């Protein structure tokens, strides 16, 4: 038996994960943050000093139920907060281009989709991972707004220089994610696009929950 899937894709720092988590809470679904899986493998390549193209990805990667939903476990370790370090963020787009990495993660995500009802966020969820998802959302926001939000996450003061630097980091990651050959960042043809630049967080969550309810009534 397969669970229900709500897919949320979008560029870096567009608010996908926080939104997906809240939507999952509201629908009593599990939240699956696929970016965390890419970050986990990136963290391992850095820790072990691997060349990401030459590495053997025979690793034990899975999602475990924890108090707060599904947590990444990698070779028995839960890397937690380290997954959001600047070092990992700077390298993750390069690791996520590797075919062996993508197929490993695809397997883990589809397994979660078979076992649970999920709100899954990422870059290729509606296009590649769950092309039959009942609802697909593509969440965008201006790069300046995304940079402001990311600095807020880091609890760093948003000086003009720091904002410029963050805008450049986000642009570079978006370009790498959109330009890669396998599973590039793009909206699925049947995705609903939501621009959150001028919307409040709860407003975005409400829109998605309402869209889900409307889609469920149709089926
Ligand atoms: O939270 P943030 O927007 O910074 O990114 P993330 O969702 O944690 O994803 C980190 C990186 O993983 C992205 O920049 C992509 O390179 C990669 N990724 C991917 O290739 N496919 C996905 N479905 C999710 C993430």
Arithmetic mean of pLDDT over the chain = 94
Has residue 194 got a pLDDT over 70? yes
Average pLDDT over residues 182-189: 95
| Distance, CA of 164 to CA of 132 (rounded, Å) | 38
Pocket flag, ligand 1, residue 39 (CB < 6 Å): yes
Has residue 127 got a pLDDT over 70? yes
pLDDT for the residue numbered 1 = 59
69-74 and 61-66 as β-strands: parallel, antiparallel, unpaired? antiparallel
Has residue 2 got a pLDDT over 90? no
Sequence-separated (6 or more) residues with CB below 8 Å from residue 170: 11, 12, 13, 143, 146, 147, 150
What is the Å distance from ligand 1's center to 35 Cα?
4
Average pLDDT over residues 19-42: 96
pLDDT for the residue numbered 124 = 97
What is the Å distance from ligand 1's center to 173 Cα?
9
Pocket flag, ligand 1, residue 92 (CB < 6 Å): yes
pLDDT for the residue numbered 219 = 67
Average pLDDT over residues 188-217: 95
What are the C-alpha distances in Å from 208 to residues 19, 43, 67, 136?
A: 9, 32, 24, 9
Cβ neighbours, 10 Å, residue 140: 18
pLDDT for the residue numbered 192 = 98
What is the Å distance from ligand 1's center to 184 Cα?
11
pTM of the shown model: 0.94
For the CA of 93, the closest atom of ligand 1 is 16
What is the Å distance from ligand 1's center to 219 Cα?
31
């Amino acid at each position: 038996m397969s669970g229900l899937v709500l897919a949320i894709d979008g560029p870096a720092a567009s608010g996908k994960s926080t939104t997906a988590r809240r939507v999952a809470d509201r629908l009593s679904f599990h939240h699956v943050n696929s970016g965390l899986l890419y970050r986990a493998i990136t963290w391992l390549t850095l820790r072990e000093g691997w060349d990401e193209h030459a590495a053997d990805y025979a690793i034990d990667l899975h999602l475990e139920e924890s108090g707060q939903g599904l947590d990444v476990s990698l070779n028995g370790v839960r890397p937690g907060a380290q997954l959001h370090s600047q070092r990992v963020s700077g390298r993750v787009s390069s690791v996520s281009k590797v075919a062996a990495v993508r197929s490993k993660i695809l397997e883990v995500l589809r397994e979660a989709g078979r076992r649970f009802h999920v709100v899954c966020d990422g870059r290729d969820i509606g296009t590649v991972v769950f092309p039959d998802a009942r609802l697909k959302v593509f969440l965008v926001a201006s790069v300046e707004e995304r940079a402001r939000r990311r600095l807020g996450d880091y609890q760093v003061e948003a000086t003009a220089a720091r904002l410029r630097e963050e805008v450049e980091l986000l642009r570079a990651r978006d370009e790498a994610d959109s330009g890669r050959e396998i599973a590039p960042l793009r909206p699925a043809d049947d995705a609903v696009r939501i621009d959150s630049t001028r919307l409040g967080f709860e407003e975005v969550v409400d829109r998605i929950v309402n869209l889900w309810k409307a889609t469920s009534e149709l089926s």
